[in-house]
Amino acid sequence: MTPDPVLPGREAAMMPSAPVSRRTFVSAALGSTSAAVMVHSSLAADEEVRELRLAIVGCGGRGSGAINDSLTINEGVKLVAAADLYASKCASMRKAMQEAHPGKVALDDGSMYDGLDGYKRVLDDPNVDVVLITTSPGFRPIYLRAAVEAGKHVFAEKPACVDPAGYRTCLEVHDAAVARGTAIVAGTQYRRQVNYLGAIEHIRQGAIGDVIGAKARYCSGGIWYRPRTEGMSDAEYQLTNWMHFIWLSGDQITEQAVHNLDTMNWVMGGNPVSAFGVGGRFTRPDDSEMWDSMSIDYEYPGERIVSFMCRQLPGAASDVGNVIYGTNGQCHIGAINAGSRIFDRSGTMVWEMAGSIADAYRQEHKDLIDSIRADTPIVELRQMADSSMVAVLGRMAAYTGQKVTWNFATAESTLDLFPKELTWQSQLPRPQFAIPGKTKLI
């Protein structure tokens, strides 16, 4: 599983959060390190809960982690269906869950589906209440739409989309989910991590004065590459080695660094106005479309600049975190388990808070299930779609070498990366990477 660091965005466009989220938030704001205990408080033994039946589409590293998180944190839930491109992935996920959660798995062979249409079988199953969508990102908008149309509540991993066409689909799906009372909880876990919540609350309360800019970094080592094996069609190869094809992953900025950009939107209170950036590739395999480094200046309203960088270069220095600059100090929000700290103008630390990414991962699933049971479904797709689109905006700017505005990218761009026809045997265009100045802004 890709270890995913960094954070998220804005409370707007959400239906009311579940009570546990609010308790967590208050604890965080008070600087309490006991917040994690409250996060994990379970239902009283005699409390009656409505059983909710879970399904998963995409049984890889994060999918297996996500279903494990849900089965760990929630009572009264059961895994009843699964889909993956490969039957073997469903089977190994089931085995792991049966070992970890005997009693919470009722997944027979007939409810495990493989191939590109497996998600449809899961969504057709009247037994399923909630679906976890944890495939590669390129499928997310299509599967989200299908899930909401089928009336299933959703947990959706990040990113929400990899291009403007997918972004627009997500906005429609968000509105449809609100109208239908269908929950969509997003896999931007930092929105639920106590040191992020605490830091944002302190910033909102003026702890660093007015926010004048920020720095966000996802600079890490290399990423996996799954070589083509004999007999693979273009489609099977790209679906398996999905990270390296932009229609599936969106490049590192979208697939991974969306966490930082989500946090930047959260801090800044909305989307940027424009992006301008550079980048390139030095070490990627020949047939990878990914760049291995990118540096983007995002301009937010009020001429506030977010200096963003992402990189996957083995041997180069790592830096994964965020710094928010204010008129009276700085707030450092560290990814994974690095915690948050506020410094005043003299450099003295005036506040700090620890946080656990594992708790945040589980909290997503508690909030989702609690909100369904309370009939106050959380719908936060728009928030994750916005952050994903910020990543797409930056990529468009870097790939083309142009300054790209949010308005152009969201309203006018015709970029739509998903293949017009996709089957297991599809021949797909030869992979090619972007060259600034030559790659057209469309």
Ligand X SMILES: NC(=O)c1ccc[n+]([C@@H]2O[C@H](COP(=O)([O-])OP(=O)(O)OC[C@H]3O[C@@H](n4cnc5c(N)ncnc54)[C@H](O)[C@@H]3O)[C@@H](O)[C@H]2O)c1
Q: How far is the CB of 232 from ligand X (least distance, A)?
A: 13
Name which of 134 and 402 has its Cβ closer to ligand X: 134
Among 61, 285, 301, 302, binds ligand X (CB under 6 A): 61
Residue closer to ligand X by CB (options 388, 413) is 388
3-state DSSP percent of the chain in helix, strand and coil, to 5: 40, 20, 40
On whether the CB atoms of residues 144 and 156 are closer than 8 A, the answer is: yes
Q: Is 17 in the site for ligand X (CB under 6 A)?
A: no
Select the residue interacting with ligand X from 1, 106, 179, 442 (CB under 6 A).
Answer: 1
From the CB of 22, what's the least distance to ligand X, in Å? 22
Which of 17, 21, 111, 189 touches ligand X by CB under 6 A?
A: 189
Per CB under 6 A, 4 contacts ligand X: yes
Query: What's the CA dihedral at 185, 175, 162, 311 to 10 degrees?
Result: -50
Q: What are phi and psi of 131, to 5 degrees?
A: -120, 135
CA 148 to chain centre: 18
Q: Are strands 52-57 and 130-133 parallel, antiparallel or unpaired?
A: parallel
Would you say 135 or 400 has its CB closer to ligand X? 135
User: Other C-beta atoms within 10 Å of 139: how many?
Assistant: 22
Number of residues that bind ligand X (CB under 6 A): 29
Q: Is 295 in the site for ligand X (CB under 6 A)?
A: no
- DSSP-based three-state secondary structure for 358: helix
* Strand 153-156 to 211-220 pairing: unpaired
Using CB under 6 A as the binding rule, the residues of this chain from 338 to 377 that contact ligand X are none
Residue 118 interacts with ligand X (CB under 6 A)?
yes
Q: Which is nearer to ligand X, 323 or 422 (CB)?
A: 422
Distance CA 346, CA 336 (A): 27
Spatial strand order in the sheet of 77-83: 112-113, 77-83, 52-57, 130-133, 153-156, 184-186
- 37 scored as a contact of ligand X (CB under 6 A): no
Longest dimension (CA), the chain: 65
Q: Which residue's C-beta sits nearest to ligand X?
A: 60
| One residue of 9, 141, 187, 377 binding ligand X per CB under 6 A | 187
Which of residues 86, 343, 351, 408 is near ligand X by CB under 6 A?
Answer: 86
Structure tokens at 83: 């889909």
| CA dist., res. 90 & res. 92, Å (int) | 6
Rounded CA-CA distance 212/231 in Å is: 55
Closest C-alpha to 255, from 61, 84, 421, 70: 61
Asked whether position 59 contacts ligand X by CB under 6 A, the answer is: yes
Q: Is 334 in the site for ligand X (CB under 6 A)?
A: no
The H-or-E segment that residue 368 falls in is helix 357-373
Q: Shortest gap between Cβ of 159 and ligand X (angstroms)?
A: 6
Is 211 or 290 the residue whose CB approaches ligand X more closely?
290
Instruction: Give the burial class of 31: count Cβ atoms within 10 A of its Cβ; 0-12 exposed, 13-18 middle, 19 or more buried.
Output: middle
- Binding segment for ligand X among 18-26, 53-61, 293-301, 401-409 (CB under 6 A)? 53-61
Identify which of residues 157 and 367 has a Cβ nearer to ligand X in the complex: 157
| Interacting residue with ligand X among 18, 29, 35, 57 (CB under 6 A) | 57
Q: Does 139 bind ligand X (CB under 6 A)?
A: yes
Interacting span for ligand X (CB under 6 A) from 70-78, 114-122, 265-273, 374-382:
114-122
Site string for ligand X, 146-185 (x = CB under 6 A): -----------xx---------------------------
Binding of ligand X by 60 (CB under 6 A) = yes
| Phi, psi dihedral angles at 155 (to 5 degrees) | -110, 125
User: Which residues are registered as beta bridge partners of 113?
Assistant: 83
Residue numbers at the binding site for ligand X (CB under 6 A): 1-2, 4, 57-63, 83-86, 89, 116, 118-119, 134-137, 139, 157-158, 187, 189, 239, 255
